[in-house]
Structure 1
Amino acid sequence: MLQKFALAFKTKTIEFFAEDEEEEEDGRDPSQIDDLSSAAAAAAAAAEEEVITGQRVVVIKPDDPPRPKIDHETLVSSLFAATSSFRAAYVQLQASHSPFDVAAVSAADRAAVSHLHRLSDLKRYHRNPSPDCPLLRHAEAQVEENQSLLRAFETIANRLQSDIDAKDAEASDLRRRLDEIEASISASMDRLGRSSVSASGEDGGVRISLGLFDSAVRDARRSARKLTRALTGWMRLAGWDLDSAAESVHGGVAYAKRSHVQYAFLSYVCLGMFGGFDSESFGESDGYGGDPKSRKNRFLRRFIEHATVHPSELLMRRPECEFARYCERKFEQVVRPIVGSYEVDGTEEGLGEDSVHDMFVELASSVWMVHKLAYSFDLAVEIFRVERGAGFSAVYMENVVRSASDGGGGSGRRRVGFTVAPGFRVGGTVIQCQVYLDRQ
């Protein structure tokens, strides 16, 4: 092989110098040119047979091409654009799962994988720069990054709008249900107002209704809550242990909150004030005589007379009347055990003994009017309460704790702890009693 290479190299050298000789031949004699050609041909023939030995061949390799420089600004811009595109695809992938959309999930998955491949290409380019890596110009990268951010924000906005639409639909459904409940209540109140009776005899022009009786019961309950708050404040000022006091009223009840012991005191006040309600004399030894019609007229007249006079003024004008005896008896039974044994200065808090007495008279007047009105009806009026442990019934009972967060949720699966305020049956109409549900 070396011999062949040397022969070829020699031949090319002769040809190279032959070109120079041709330029000189232009000024020579033609005979001289022929002689030179013959000599060159003879030399070439001799060179074909000549073997070159002991020669050293040096092969010169070309230099490696220069390594391209990295455009860091373009690389970083492309990196941010690819990252933003992947984030947008991932957000779309998450949004496609709820509700689940197979086509959208597949498309978002393919887009996310393609952007990951692109990030991998940028990583390889950073380690080994190559002109084959498609880098975006700085402006193009910024445009692609902003477009990816817009796609991500659009996906989030669509998801939020979907949530808003769902909430609007839920609110519309609740409004519709509220309208239905209000319409039902309005219809019930209309039926309650139509279920009225007229007193006969001398007071035949006075008309009473079940709606009036329901309003009187609600007034009595509001007055009972007002007096209960005053008595509870009095007990705190006197240093009472409210938990022990509530346990003495209704023992063994598990309260949802410690503050719910106030319902035990409200029960104590309501049941005490309505005690004896089922008798015409309201606990007095002497009853009313005469036929039923005249008795009903007498109760109605007492109701009207009491409604037209302030109870405190009535007590001052007629201290020996039936209402005054009722107040004296109930005060000794309900209020005196709390305020009679302690000296408390609660004037600044509005809990002085005079203030408590005024609240008591207001409550006594409300309960008194409920009693007189009940016995003015031709329909039978019955008072009722629920014993502890009875199952909750939405027909006959009302949970006094109405908020589910305060322990009033799931009333249908709970048991009655105690009756807070009694209920009434007027013919076929029920005015619910208020109960506290045991947490156990």
Structure 2
Amino acid sequence: MESVKPSAMTPTKSKLAHTFAKVFHIRAISGVALVDGVQKVKHLEKVIKDDWKPVKSTGSWSQLLDEDDKDDEYKLAMEAFLAKIFATISSVKAAYSQLQYAQSPYDAEGIQSADHLVVKELKNLSELKQCYLKKQFDISPEKTLVSAEILELKSLVKTYEIMGNKLESQLRLKESEIIFLKEKLEENNEQNKLIHNSLNQSGQLSMLDNLHFSGLSTSHFVTVLQHAVKSIRGFVRLMIDEMKTAGWDIDAAASSIQPNVVYYKADHKCYAFESFVCGEMFNTFHYRNYSPANESLPERKKQQQQQQQLFFERFTELKSVKAKDYLSRKPKSLFGKFCRVKYWQVIHQKMESSFFGNLNHRNLLSSGEFPDTGFFASFAEMAKRVWLLHCLAFTFQPAASIFQVNKGTRFSEAYMESLDDEAFLSMDSTQQSDPRVAFTVVPGFRIGKTVLQCQVYLSHFQTN
């Protein structure tokens, strides 16, 4: 016959089985050998109504037993008594855990119920203390031992259930906190984006606060140009984010602006959008009124000086004011007209419709008003920087001129600044020509004999 292997038992079941085995073993020793003792015990068992309450007899417990079984029964009684104490302590712990659980979130009925349980179990401990002092033990220790073990296990299970419920409630609380923090993070990201754009586009030109017409120099123009380029790039990032949100194909959009361009990195495609915005914003930059329609005949020297002073005053008037505030105060100003025209040129109506689901921006601009949105505020601040640069360009004599280079032009450090160093790093022996201009991103300027380089994106072209 095959031997039967004992099945694995959990610690709880093993402990309970051990208790039963110990009880049955002692009963076999004392109960079978001493019939008279068993009869006495059975007689006294009828008197017991509640195993957890001590038996109050007129004589000592040991007087009920014969001399031979006193030691074994006494040991069993003491073990049952200790088990009873530990079970009661476990009940106190379970009741106290229930009391703590009812406190958060606050449950008045739960707290009151748990408080009664704690008081009840503490009274049981007090009664057990009195029983020990009076040497009054249960006269059915076998049954008491098993009951104590069962009660202790029930208390442990109850404690674990309470802990499990508490952990589940904490988990739900943490999940709700995570959701709240995610929403807060999204709000902060949006706010940071607006602040970032505002700082990039509308940071005050504090270094030009004390600038006078007589002290104007090329370095001042360079400073304003840097702020204008920075604001354009900030607006382009905002525009690309809106495209992504609206589900645009960024690659296809970049290819439609600058076709047949191989980019060294995927994020270089943003230069195509920058070239588009710069191309529209700087278009007709070389006209004094930003439009050939209002261009007058050449003026005399005195008139030229007056025009220079006028452009400088325009520059000073707008320099330290937010575009939004200026437009609200002077909606019919030249700058207001400039903002309207450039918005219509940069933001196509299909683009606006996909971004916002309507054409409210265009409608407001057509009616002579300005949209009160973060998107238009960013655009207006960018337009302000370009307008300031235009005003400053015509304070010089001769006025600063603008230029850009055509596609395929050989790179020249004197007139160009490359935005992609990879064009030079990636050259190998198979390439027979230097990298050429793929497109101009930011135009260059000439002020007298000073040349401010235009920013270009380079690519390789094979020679025939």
Q: Normalized against structure 2, the TM-score is what?
A: 0.46
Larger Rg: 1
TM value normalised by structure 1: 0.49
